[in-house]
Structure 1
Amino acid sequence: MSRPVPRTAAVAAAVALLTGLAAPAHADTTGQRQRDFAAAAAEFGVPENVLLGVSYLESRWDSNAGTPSTAAGYGPMHLTDLRAAGVATSHHDEGSEDPRGDDARPALHPQAAPAAPPQQLQTVDEAAQLLHTDAATLRSDPTQNIRGGAALLAKYHTGDNWYDAVAKYSGSTGDAAQTFADEVFDTIKTGTARTTDDGQQVTLSPAPDLVVPQHADKTPAGVECPRRVACESVPAPYQQLPKDDYGNHDLANRPESQKIDHIVIHDTEGYWDSVLKLAQDPTYVSWHYTIRSNDGLIAQHVPTKDVAWHAGNWYVNAKSIGIEHEGFAAKGTWYTEAMYRSSAKLVGYLARKFGIPLDRAHIIGHDNVPGTTPATIKGMHWDPGPYWDWSHYFDLLGAPLGGFGLPGSSLVTIDPDFAKNQPAFTGCDSPGTTCAPRGSEAVVLHSEPSETSPLLKDAGLHPDGSVSTMDVSDVGSRVATGQQYSVAEVRGDWTAIWYLGQKGWFHNPRHARVAKPAIGWVVTPKPGLASVPVYGRAYPEPEAYPANVPVQAITPLPYTLSAGQKYSSAGTVGSEYYYATTFDVADHVVVKGKLKYVQIQFGHRIAFVKAADVRILPAF
């Protein structure tokens, strides 16, 4: 599957053009970061656009306040230092979530030992030696970090071939290194500009005449992946186990047998090597894909036709594809641009293949998956966390969020400025401690139009009646970028939305909107109904089950959708239950009922109401 990065005529032509280009013009910017790139490029003889392109693929030129990425990388050039990043655990071991979420089977709680990161990711020492400085300086000082990255590129460079130097900088080999270099060269060709997380204006001027190397499709036979990304097969075992048990997924025939409605975004809470070992453990749980942080390499574990055990809700599992991203939801880390781009290409490919809408009602985080019953809500996972940049991710998908409704619309899309939106969460590194200020996709809700008013209550997460908290894992009073909600009231610069049966207030000033007008549909109880039940699964009516399949309870969640309230609708779905409790697929049955549900955005997580209980209305 791996092959050396080629030294082709196309590469040579591209390199010749790169080295012949004048330094990108940036007279219209005065940012220190831009000057740092120009100075480092000149000092080490690296083409400035190559240095800018590599940094963009690593960090989008951000400093991230000196915190490590999901691949233990620091600063704009992503110099890696595992000693500072530390040891990881698996998020599958935290909380009480049963990844299968199927009441017909015993709860599954596999354990995985903490795993140290791979030792090869240690470029900070190499750069420190070249600059005669120390690792701490390179981690914390963006200027020196850029110099360190330039020094490494210069060291990796041989002859006239900057392509190979860029590929080696990724820390990978073969197709993965080639994909990283391709993305860098594509970025150089098209150019880009942005304001970084610390307010620096940086521009990479386009090089439209640059010849980008063209390569054959990298996808191995049998792997479901888009073109121009590096993919490999790391199969999860479908294996019979003792005591009539089996693992670690279920065979199916999707989409012929069951429609795939959702793609669920996860993070691994562990490093690549250890996570792939878990994916190959028949006694562990499963997901369809894992994406590596430093270069965006994709590994497929479970065919998309089959059902993986990843979301903690069997109804969602049976109708979704789960994608794990090497990284951490809260431990002071950030997701690399290389991984965002690779993931967006994969999700776009899967969405087209299965007809999944590119919106936040169908491309969801694990934190948006509902609990199955009142007892399971508290243990549901909350990855990829509030630091996953949904707005940028949907830009990469070609489906930008927000800004499509008319002013005054009764429906809004949550869409804060990621870099400037920095809620004061706690518990990222240890319980109760304040998290480092960082850009976030999350907007916190209050019970009144005041920053000092209490947060909302979540009867599922806090059954004792207490209010939600600012703990990074507490999603009980929080909305996420791209989600849509019905406006309940507006008072000056404050907007209230309907959320878990309450009014949730957030600051939405005219000069810095965090929610934008939207178009769409909402649901409200039918006339005569004081309230309607809310569900975490869209299961069939009892009469739909054949005699050999146990009837699954339709259990309401501990919330109410009351008359006068409205919630964003993602459309009507049929009722369905996949009965798969044995290793022999001949015993598996897809039960489809006549009962219809409507998927709604009820709180931070999606939910379902019976279509017969509600009216579906256009939002005005």
Structure 2
Amino acid sequence: MGALASVALLLPLLSAAPPAGADVPEAGVLQGQFARAAERQGVPVSVLLAVSYLQSRWDTHGGAPSVTGGYGPMHLTDAVTALARTAAPHHSEGGEDARGDSSRPVRTGGDAPVPAPAELPERLRTLERASVLSGIPAEELRTVPAANIEGGAALLAAAQREAGLPASADPADWYGAVARYSGADDSATAATYADDVFDVIRTGETRTTDSGQVVMLPAAPAVAPATGQVADLGLRRPAAGPVECPSSVACEWVPAPYEEFGDGDYGNHDKANRPVSQSIDYIVIHDTEADWNTTLKLVQDPTYVSWQYSLRSSDGHIAQHVPLKDVAWHAGNWFVNAKSVGLEHEGFLTSPDSWYTEAMYRTSARLVRYLAGRYDIPLDRQHILGHDNVPGTVASTIKNMHTDPGPYWDWAHYFRLLGRPITPSAGPHAGVVTVRPDYSSHQPVYTGCVTAGQACAPHGSGAVRLHTAPSADAPLVQDIGLRPGGQDSTTGVNDTGARASTGQSFAVAERRGDWTAVWYLGQKAWFSNPVKEPTAVNARGLVLTPREGLAEVPVYGRAYPEASAYPAGVPVQSVSPLPYKLLAGQRYVVGGRTPGEYYFAPVFDPSGHTVVRGQEEYYQIQFGHRVAFVKASDVRVSRA
């Protein structure tokens, strides 16, 4: 774990402060609030700004809590208050079979308790301590940015005093206090967090926040922090084990159980030999809807389900549960499970006006880059999927598929951290567009975050809505898989029926003024795409359409082999189409080509597990909000 402190291994920041002499925007009121709080509390302003950046990127979020009950620019946590808005953990709600294999009994997450306030660790109750230290009432710390910044500065100053260190003006002397601020209970995570903060100090940042405030942190490349201070914090060492993580993150081994528990049932994953037996083609991004401790308890329960990694919101700490060679039960689609790695990101609030910390985005991006490099997975939205992009296996499972991480996950920022920013790659008459609204300013109204039918709090979003005509008054397009009766889609925050998300690419059907139409779920779907405020960029790509002579071709939720490919003793899995059609004249963007495969693993003993691979090949396409598959023999492919 010694390499964890190596700054050289950290991802480069992609929006560093401008060089000296460059035109820079005028700083806003928020900048002055940081300066005054730093002076009053005796904390270097660069340290205060960098810690805040790693928590919130200086956003105020309108007073809404993060996924772990953190408030304001300093992410002061008050999970006791936030618990009033919790719901069941991610895999415990809804009817989705996380394993997604119709040849075996359904495996859902089951019930799990919401933690009692007394069970919450100190890292989820920092607002309470900040109130004591600063004398500022808790409600002000939650809702007033200046008060929140003051409270965060007070916590940093207290950490410095408790370490027996002076209130130095040199930011290099504050490494231990920053590590303590992370709330991490292990030395590796605390060091990784502090390294990230000092990386921000060295490279600098300038950003316009969600409240329209310009905040600047000038680069200070010569700052060399006293990294040895973390050894004096008395933190534990992470659990040793066969972790598969990049050296630039803090990662520990918290194994999911592989054991039998009666009546032929077992849990909570399957042994395999990937990538020798099957390629790993996808990484699936989830949101836990559970706090960290509950998440770890659940994944260690053999009667629950599983995923490969959990990521903690407050500091980006990672726990690995299932070896990458094995198949976890997380995506609700067995074909995807067998060829993917699942990442669960901590969050126990279902209200999607909550937000994710920069610390978690960064460590998640490092992990995904590592996995993509190891398994040659393309860094694009056809292979880095949200759980809400995984298709139902057959018609009957579509309605139960999960909708996380939802419209508030910042895919554009995530892909910048991945080193693959979403930029135009074609001219104005391109046959493909890639969705990319401005996350902060793009705030479509969603409903049902707290109360059914009621509007959610305004919040930036990376998703656009799709209409039946080029008008905001036109009905939303229909998803006959979600609503077989033909009803229109809704603005519900969990309704994916008329939604296209940042990074997803679609074939252009028509352009008309400020509106663009794409082919989507077998129909022409329009979204607002003004020239002055575009919500998509023009792109290149391969597209497919039914081959000549076919009026329509079926669409599938999994790429299973033909019946003749199954050996004796392995039940044939039906190649059952979804209720959609890809019609002649329509085009869809190709994500990749894959052979028909089925991983037969119905029993605990892996000696009888078999990969069935057929002659039939499939193309993965961006068909709606979720991906889908079509048989290669049914279509022809061309460059858009």
Distance 2:200 2:435 in 1: 29
Alignment of 1:523-602 (within 5 A): 523-602=544-623
Distance 2:41 2:109 in 1: 50
Match in the other structure for 1:84: 81
Determine which of 297, 314, 318 is the counterpart of 2:317: 297
Match in the other structure for 1:310: 330
CA contact (8 A) 1:315 1:538 kept: yes
Match in the other structure for 2:184: 172
| Residue 59 of structure 1 pairs with residue 56 of structure 2 | yes
The one-letter code matched in structure 2 to 1:593 is G
CA contact (8 A) 2:251 2:317 kept: yes
| Residue 147 of structure 1 pairs with residue 150 of structure 2 | yes
Distance 1:495 1:81 in 2: 43
| Residue 192 of structure 1 pairs with residue 205 of structure 2 | yes
Determine which of 301, 322, 333 is the counterpart of 1:281: 301
Alignment of 1:316-355 (within 5 A): 316-327=336-347, 328=349, 330-355=351-376
- Deviation string, structure 1 residues 73-94 (Cα, Å, up to 9, x no partner): 1000001112221144212122
Distance 2:402 2:316 in 1: 24
| Residue 207 of structure 1 pairs with residue 216 of structure 2 | no
Determine which of 354, 375, 379 is the counterpart of 2:396: 375
The one-letter code matched in structure 2 to 1:166 is V
Greater shift, 105-114 or 288-297, is seen at 105-114
| Residue 259 of structure 1 pairs with residue 279 of structure 2 | yes
CA contact (8 A) 1:219 1:226 kept: no
SS at match of 2:549: coil
Distance 1:89 1:583 in 2: 29
Greater shift, 266-275 or 403-412, is seen at 403-412
The one-letter code matched in structure 1 to 2:624 is G
SS at match of 1:617: strand
Gaps of 5+ in 2: 8-21, 232-236
Determine which of 259, 263, 266 is the counterpart of 1:239: 259
Q: 1:422 to 1:516 in 2, by over 3 A?
A: same
- Deviation string, structure 1 residues 155-189 (Cα, Å, up to 9, x no partner): 11123531111111111132111111111011111
| Residue 38 of structure 1 pairs with residue 35 of structure 2 | yes
Alignment of 1:421-500 (within 5 A): 421-500=442-521
The one-letter code matched in structure 2 to 1:452 is D
TM-superposed CA distance for 1:212, in Å, is: 5.0
- Deviation string, structure 1 residues 512-547 (Cα, Å, up to 9, x no partner): 000110011001011110000000000000000001
TM-superposed CA distance for 1:27, in Å, is: 8.5
CA contact (8 A) 1:267 1:329 kept: no
Distance 1:563 1:55 in 2: 53
Percent of aligned positions with the same letter in both sequences? Answer: 57
TM-superposed CA distance for 1:401, in Å, is: 1.2
Match in the other structure for 2:140: 137
CA contact (8 A) 2:175 2:226 kept: no
TM-superposed CA distance for 1:449, in Å, is: 0.6
CA contact (8 A) 1:523 1:568 kept: yes
CA contact (8 A) 1:218 1:229 kept: no
Distance 2:464 2:24 in 1: 37
Distance 2:293 2:203 in 1: 34
The one-letter code matched in structure 2 to 1:336 is T
CA contact (8 A) 2:176 2:227 kept: no
Q: 1:403 to 1:212 in 2, by over 3 A?
A: farther
Greater shift, 491-500 or 121-130, is seen at 121-130
- Deviation string, structure 1 residues 280-302 (Cα, Å, up to 9, x no partner): 00000000000000000000000
Question: Normalising by the residue count of structure 2, what TM-score does the alignment of the two structures yield?
Answer: 0.91
The one-letter code matched in structure 1 to 2:200 is T
TM-superposed CA distance for 1:29, in Å, is: 2.0
SS at match of 1:559: strand
TM-superposed CA distance for 1:113, in Å, is: 2.4
CA contact (8 A) 2:432 2:538 kept: yes
The one-letter code matched in structure 2 to 1:476 is G
SS at match of 1:167: helix
Determine which of 426, 432, 435 is the counterpart of 1:414: 435
CA contact (8 A) 2:136 2:147 kept: no
CA contact (8 A) 1:313 1:369 kept: yes
CA contact (8 A) 1:219 1:229 kept: no
> How many residues matched?
603
Q: 1:587 to 1:218 in 2, by over 3 A?
A: same
SS at match of 1:405: coil
Determine which of 359, 363, 366 is the counterpart of 2:380: 359
The one-letter code matched in structure 1 to 2:383 is H
Match in the other structure for 2:44: 47
Match in the other structure for 1:15: none
SS at match of 2:297: helix
The one-letter code matched in structure 1 to 2:106 is A
Question: Normalising by the residue count of structure 1, what TM-score does the alignment of the two structures yield?
Answer: 0.94
Q: 1:213 to 1:464 in 2, by over 3 A?
A: farther
- Deviation string, structure 1 residues 76-132 (Cα, Å, up to 9, x no partner): 000111222114421212221100110110111231223226242211122112222
Distance 1:537 1:207 in 2: 51
Distance 1:552 1:500 in 2: 25
Match in the other structure for 1:393: 414
CA contact (8 A) 2:25 2:214 kept: no
TM-superposed CA distance for 1:278, in Å, is: 0.2
Distance 1:372 1:517 in 2: 31
CA contact (8 A) 1:219 1:227 kept: no
CA contact (8 A) 1:93 1:112 kept: yes
SS at match of 2:614: strand
Q: 1:214 to 1:177 in 2, by over 3 A?
A: closer
| Residue 605 of structure 1 pairs with residue 626 of structure 2 | yes
CA contact (8 A) 1:233 1:299 kept: yes
TM-superposed CA distance for 1:330, in Å, is: 3.5
Distance 1:386 1:241 in 2: 38
CA contact (8 A) 2:621 2:628 kept: yes
The one-letter code matched in structure 2 to 1:102 is D
Match in the other structure for 1:21: none
TM-superposed CA distance for 1:222, in Å, is: 1.4
TM-superposed CA distance for 1:331, in Å, is: 4.2
TM-superposed CA distance for 1:454, in Å, is: 0.5
SS at match of 2:548: coil
SS at match of 2:302: coil
TM-superposed CA distance for 1:219, in Å, is: 9.4
- Deviation string, structure 1 residues 542-595 (Cα, Å, up to 9, x no partner): 000001100000000000100000000012111100000011111100000000
CA contact (8 A) 1:544 1:592 kept: yes
The one-letter code matched in structure 2 to 1:31 is G
Distance 1:270 1:78 in 2: 18
CA RMSD of aligned residues (A): 2.2
TM-superposed CA distance for 1:240, in Å, is: 0.9
Distance 2:129 2:101 in 1: 50
Match in the other structure for 1:18: none
CA contact (8 A) 2:522 2:582 kept: yes
